[in-house]
Structure 1
Amino acid sequence: MEQLKADTGAWIVVCDGAKALIFENKGDRQYPDLRVCEVFEQENPPTSEQGADRPGRSHSSVGPGRSAVGQTDWHDLAEAKFLKDLADHLHLAIHGGKTKQLFVVAPPRALGMIREHYTPAIKQALTKEIDKDYVKMPADQIEKMLVK
């Protein structure tokens, strides 16, 4: 991976659908020094542990037929909400002057979900997206992977 060209004060957001680490570059472009400044986590058990009811049934509008209604995927809904909340937080941080430059590192699925919630301010601050799943690594290893 090419080295991040992160300015001093840039935020590097490493996330998936249940956890986000926000690093701030305390160094400069030449010698980055990433420090964890915020951590967000959400418990998100599998759908089978979240939904207690069986899928619903509907009656046909014509005749005696009945059919099943698809089961809600509570796990996916929780991931989508987490990533929307994260995007809202990033928007507020950019407008509040906490950062001007943003990098997002996430697995492809999570990148697709969070992109839906990018505001014009996020798009303007966004320098690069990296489709890697680093969020479960220790912070020092994440830094090594991003600045090597």
Structure 2
Amino acid sequence: MAGIPKNALVFAGDGRKALFLRNEGDDRLPNLKAEAVFEHQNPPTHLQGMDRPGHFIKGIVSGQRGAVAPTNWHELEEYRFTRRVARAAEDIVRRGKATAFVIVAPPRTLAQLRATLAPDVKRQIIAEIPRDLTRLPVGEIEKHVVEALASRTR
């Protein structure tokens, strides 16, 4: 594969922001255009959950108590957001609007997407790039994706 195929869908996202970009050019001269943008306000855990961690008794006879790790509300919201954008990606791919699917995301988000996406959509994936490019302009994202795809074909 030389580059991003025409009409390929490029997902660039993390647990707070997701960009769906479509290649309106061809595989030699890509031209990524924004198709959809998702943003999610996700404050730190200490602002979302104020409960103290729970405790449990390990054994009635020993009377030992143990602590339960506190819920990380921030990570939970990132996971929910990732599931939501995965459904949006599935909708776009299933409507036949994408000839291929490229995912660019930090490793944790990439793993969550792999676990969430349906098998028929996973078959459309031509590349997974473990990087966070969400803060870059579209032109820079395009450049990084082209470079990553080119380095894989060498």
Shift of 1:116: 0.5
| Change beyond 3 A, Cα 1:103–1:4 | farther
**Is residue 58 from structure 1 mapped to residue 65 from structure 2 by the alignment?**
no
Q: Which residue of 1 aligns with 2:97?
A: 98
For 1:23, what is the secondary structure of its paired residue?
A: strand
Structure 2 CA distance for partners of 1:130 and 1:140, relative to 1, 3 Å: same
Which amino acid is the alignment partner of residue 53 of structure 2?
P
SS at match of 2:70: coil
Counterpart Cα distance in 1 of 2:77 and 2:43: 9
Partner of 2:142: 143
Shift of residue 60 of structure 1?
4.3
Q: Deviations over 1:40-81 (max 9, x none)?
A: 111111111111111112234514433322101111111111
Identity of aligned residues (%): 36
2:8 to 10, 18, 28: 10
Q: Structure 2: how far apart are the matches of 1:99 and 1:109?
A: 24
2:150 — aligned with what?
Answer: none
Matched residue, 1:113: 112
Number of aligned positions between the proteins? 146
Q: Deviation of residue 138 (structure 1)?
A: 1.9
Letter of the structure 1 residue corresponding to residue 39 of structure 2: E
Letter in 2 for 1:24: R
- TM-score, length of structure 2 as denominator length: 0.86
What residue in structure 2 maps to residue 41 of structure 1? 39
One-letter code aligned to 1:132: R
Where does structure 1 lack aligned partners over 5 or more consecutive residues? none
Q: Which residue of 2 aligns with 1:77?
A: 76
Indicate if the aligned counterparts of 2:9 and 2:21 stay in contact, CA closer than 8 A: yes
State the partner residue of 2:151: none
CA contact (8 A) 2:83 2:113 kept: yes
